[in-house]
């Protein structure tokens, strides 16, 4: 059934083709594709969060370079080089805080630079297109590998809780924590997913539930404050969440609310897993205490849902994420395998060679 699932990012056509994105700002109410046929449209899609999620942004930007070269495929090598430089610089301004954006653009640049002036423009663009598609493919493979390693942890018929969105919308396909659930379902394990709505921005309600619906995986939406009750009722056997950053000892920063779910899971003796590619590890940080907690706009909490939900003038605390200490994590699922138990020695052994 996965074949019928809409793809978050696709390259349509040959070197003079375009990028087709799912416009995530229209979800969950409508499935709308955004075809980006010039670089300004790619820039706008990244800027306006039509595409979001670190890997997805990287893939889109890499494909955006090819779109930006459409008009110079048959021009002079000098003109091609000048346009390449301009397009690259322009795309970097679309979302300057997205590390993956820079990583993907650097990679594309590195792939083409040795050949500049040596091959005709059309071939150079083809080279960039292949690199962009490779980035997409590698991300898809990594998601599938995480899915496979994680699904092996799940027993048939289990109830699984997840938080925020870690699915195909944020990646090439399948995602990280969600990939595990989709893979388990693909393997016929007949799981039931509970998804936290994930206040304040409701990624769980809007995006995760939409993805689960597309894949036909049985799922139930709950408010964040219902997770404890669902656990108490014995409906959850395992928890899987994503991560933004993991330190050398295995502490994991992730969307706000994750730490609370980990504490609740511990109380109910439910194994709590983190899923993330090995690139998420930051071994330069010893523990999660070194990660500063970013504060976000209070209006996400008071006005984020279409109407004002709190009095004018109230103080709001709105941390973007929290840090779950390694001792609450049963295992960290990476594309290389599962880190369990979560200790610095095993973290370094598994992902220390990145």
Query: DSSP string spanning 109-160?
Result: HHHHGGGTTTS-HHHHHHHHHHHHHHHHHHHHHHHHHHHHHHHTTPPTT-EE
Residues 354/335/150/196 CA torsion (nearest 10 deg) = 80
Catalytic residue list contains 139: no
Residues 152/328/278/290 CA torsion (nearest 10 deg) = 180
Is residue 48 a contact point for its own copies (CB under 8 A)? no
Closest listed residue to residue 321, CA positions, set 233, 240, 245, 213: 245
Is residue 202 a contact point for its own copies (CB under 8 A)? yes
What minimum distance in Å lies between the beta carbon of 317 and its own copies?
5
Is residue 292 a contact point for its own copies (CB under 8 A)? no
Q: How far apart are CA 354 and CA 277, in angstroms?
A: 11
What minimum distance in Å lies between the beta carbon of 311 and its own copies?
4
What minimum distance in Å lies between the beta carbon of 117 and its own copies?
51
Q: What is the Cα 88 distance to its own chain's centre?
A: 22
What minimum distance in Å lies between the beta carbon of 217 and its own copies?
11
Is residue 317 a contact point for its own copies (CB under 8 A)? yes
Q: How far apart are CA 37 and CA 48, in angstroms?
A: 16
- The 8-class DSSP code of residue 32 comes to -
Please identify which residue in the block is written with the tokens 């005709």.
Answer: 120
Among 10, 131, 139, 197, binds its own copies (CB under 8 A): 197
Among 28, 271, 337, 352, binds its own copies (CB under 8 A): 28
Tokens (6 digits) for 335? 């594309």
Is residue 205 a contact point for its own copies (CB under 8 A)? yes
Is residue 264 a contact point for its own copies (CB under 8 A)? yes
Among 302, 329, 333, 334, binds its own copies (CB under 8 A): 302
Is residue 314 a contact point for its own copies (CB under 8 A)? yes
Is residue 221 a contact point for its own copies (CB under 8 A)? yes
| Residues at the contact surface with its own copies, assessed by CB under 8 A | 27-29, 194, 196-200, 202, 205-206, 209-210, 213, 218-230, 232, 256-257, 259-261, 263-264, 266-267, 293, 301-302, 305-319, 322
Residues annotated as catalytic are: 244
């Amino acid at each position: 059934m996965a074949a019928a699932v809409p793809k978050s990012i696709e390259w349509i056509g040959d070197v003079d083709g375009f990028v087709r994105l799912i416009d995530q700002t229209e979800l969950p109410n409508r499935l709308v594709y955004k075809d980006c046929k010039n670089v300004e449209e790619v820039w706008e899609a990244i800027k306006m969060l039509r595409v979001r999620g670190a890997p997805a942004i990287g893939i889109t930007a890499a494909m955006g370079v090819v779109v930006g070269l459409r008009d110079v495929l048959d021009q002079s090598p000098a003109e091609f080089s000048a346009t390449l430089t301009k397009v690259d610089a322009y795309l970097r301004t679309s979302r300057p805080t997205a590390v993956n954006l820079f990583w993907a653009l650097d990679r594309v640049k590195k792939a083409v630079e040795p050949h500049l002036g040596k091959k005709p423009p059309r071939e150079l663009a083809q080279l960039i297109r292949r690199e962009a598609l490779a980035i997409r493919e590698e991300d898809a493979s990594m998601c599938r590998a995480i899915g496979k390693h994680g699904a092996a942890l799940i027993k048939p018929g289990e109830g699984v809780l997840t938080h925020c969105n870690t699915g195909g919308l944020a990646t090439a396909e399948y995602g990280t924590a969600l990939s595990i659930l989709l893979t388990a379902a693909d393997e016929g394990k007949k799981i039931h997913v509970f998804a936290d709505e994930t206040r304040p921005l409701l990624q769980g309600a809007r995006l995760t539930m939409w993805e689960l619906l597309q894949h036909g995986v049985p799922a139930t939406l709950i408010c964040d404050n219902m997770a404890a009750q669902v656990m108490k009722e014995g409906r959850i056997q395992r928890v899987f969440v994503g991560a933004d950053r993991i330190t050398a000892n295995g502490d994991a920063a992730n969307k706000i609310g994750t730490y609370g779910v980990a504490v609740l899971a511990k109380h109910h003796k439910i194994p709590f897993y983190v899923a993330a590619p090995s690139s998420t590890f930051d071994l330069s940080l010893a523990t999660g205490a070194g990660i500063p907690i970013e504060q976000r706009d209070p209006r996400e909490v008071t006005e984020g849902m279409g109407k004002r939900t709190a009095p004018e003038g109230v103080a709001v605390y709105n941390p973007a994420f929290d840090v779950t200490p390694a001792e609450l994590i049963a295992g960290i699922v990476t594309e290389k395998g599962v880190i369990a138990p979560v200790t610095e020695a095993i973290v370094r052994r598994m992902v220390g060679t990145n």
